[in-house]
């Protein structure tokens, strides 16, 4: 094992032991506060291009299994951890955390003071970083490093995928969806068509769905601005549910704006208040961007959820159309399943407003 370094664009350097791929990798450095669920986090497409700092001090203690991946691959640029467990203990474990990253070609810097890294990000905000074996490259790296605004193209399905069920036909717009979203719909008996993120209104109509779910995904939502007119047309025609990036895109399609948080919300313990009932739900979250209050069209939308900690917008509901959006992840994985009812409510809306027959045309 050789020494490795995390260099931040502020000039800060953190030393550790480099595992896996050894050449330099650049990404946006973020952190997640979840105590469990590192496998789901690793495979969440929303983390594409980012360097993930795990707050929990020991990672890898229950290994990697064959069931909990949220996508077919790992999309992160790199991983930062404190203590790495090389001898996992779990009856479903088939390989170690380190073996998983090495197979995927993703560098991991272990033995790092992750508390110090997180404190720096919380103070100065999310920033670019590089994992490298050469700590003196800062002068050249910091001037040339850049991170793409959107990686949705890299994580969205290239072709339509169909999953047969006995209930409503739901189109899942794939901006980098987590498997748990698809599974939640399938568990409710839905027929699901997962479609590329560029799918047009006319193509959606041709699929004859009863509703549309706009998924999570990576990057700045404004990078997908050319798609907003089609998104608006789709939501005007079909019952719609937006999750995370999907929430932001629907808001943008109706004239709202988004802004970037200082260090984002990533973890499984974020309290969200439901405005209508006053009830507080614990939620799983993973995002840098939020819909700004001032630009929401209050004539047509109401804010349905707010973050208890910073009062940011966590959900919207259209006053006349069957459109609901949430910034958090009702499917959890990892995290609490408190808000799973959002899926059942969405399907109830479909049954109230859609066809009584769920036969599909494909």
Which tokens belong to 78?
Answer: 């790199």
Find the catalytic residue in 177, 287, 329, 333. 329
Q: Which residues are annotated as a binding site for L-glutamine?
A: 46, 217, 219, 245, 248, 286, 289
Say which of 28, 108, 331, 333 is annotated catalytic. Answer: 331
- The token pair at 131 is 């994992």
CA 145 to chain centre: 23
- Among the listed residues 28, 70, 244, 287, the single catalytic one is 244
What phi and psi, each to the nearest 5 degrees, are found at residue 20? Answer: 75, -140
Q: Is the dihedral of CA 191, 194, 200, 203 positive or negative?
A: negative
Residue with tokens 């779990």: 90
Q: How far apart are CA 46 and CA 219, in angstroms?
A: 8
Measured from the Cβ of residue 220, the count of other Cβ atoms closer than 10 Å reads: 17
Element (H, E) at 213: strand 211-214
Determine the Cα–Cα distance for residues 36 and 59; give it in Å rounded to an integer.
9
Whole-number Cα distances in Å, 186 to 116, 190, 210, 238? 42, 5, 14, 19
329 in active site: yes
**Residues contributing to the annotated binding site:** 46, 217, 219, 245, 248, 286, 289
Q: Give the orientation angle of helix 228-237 with respect to helix 245-253, to 10 degrees.
A: 90
55 labelled catalytic:
no
Catalytic residues: 244, 329, 331
């Amino acid at each position: 094992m050789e020494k490795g370094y995390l260099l931040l664009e502020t000039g800060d350097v953190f030393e550790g032991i480099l595992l896996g791929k050894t050449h330099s990798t650049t990404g946006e450095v973020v952190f997640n506060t979840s105590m469990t669920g590192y496998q789901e986090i690793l495979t969440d497409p929303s983390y594409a291009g980012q360097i993930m700092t795990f707050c929990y001090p020991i990672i890898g203690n229950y290994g990697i299994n064959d069931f909990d991946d949220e996508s077919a691959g790992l999309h992160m640029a790199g991983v930062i951890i404190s203590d790495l467990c090389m001898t996992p203990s779990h009856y479903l474990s088939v390989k170690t955390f380190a073996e998983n990253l090495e197979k995927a070609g993703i560098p991991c810097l272990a033995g790092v003071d992750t508390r110090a890294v997180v404190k720096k990000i919380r103070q100065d905000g999310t920033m670019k970083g590089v994992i490298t074996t050469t700590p003196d490259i800062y002068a050249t790296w910091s001037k040339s490093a850049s991170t793409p605004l959107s990686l949705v193209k890299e994580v969205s399905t290239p072709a339509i995928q169909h999953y047969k069920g006995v209930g409503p036909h739901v189109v899942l717009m794939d901006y980098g969806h987590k498997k748990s979203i698809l599974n939640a719909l399938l568990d409710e008996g839905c027929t699901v068509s997962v479609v590329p993120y560029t799918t047009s209104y006319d193509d959606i109509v041709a699929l004859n769905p009863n509703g549309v779910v706009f998924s999570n995904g990576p990057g700045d939502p404004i990078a997908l601005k050319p798609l907003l007119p089609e998104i608006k047309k789709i939501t005007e025609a079909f019952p719609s549910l937006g999750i995370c990036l999907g929430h932001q895109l629907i808001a943008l399609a109706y004239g709202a704006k988004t802004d970037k948080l200082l260090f984002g919300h990533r973890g499984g313990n974020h309290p969200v208040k439901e405005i209508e009932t006053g009830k507080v739900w614990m939620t799983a979250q993973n995002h840098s961007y939020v819909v700004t209050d001032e630009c929401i069209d209050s004539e047509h939308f109401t804010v349905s959820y707010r973050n208890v900690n910073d009062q940011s917008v966590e959900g919207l509901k259209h006053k006349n159309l069957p459109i609901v959006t949430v910034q958090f992840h009702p499917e959890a994985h990892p995290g609490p399943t408190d808000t799973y009812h959002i899926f059942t409510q969405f399907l109830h809306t479909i049954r109230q407003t859609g066809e009584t027959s769920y036969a599909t045309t494909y």
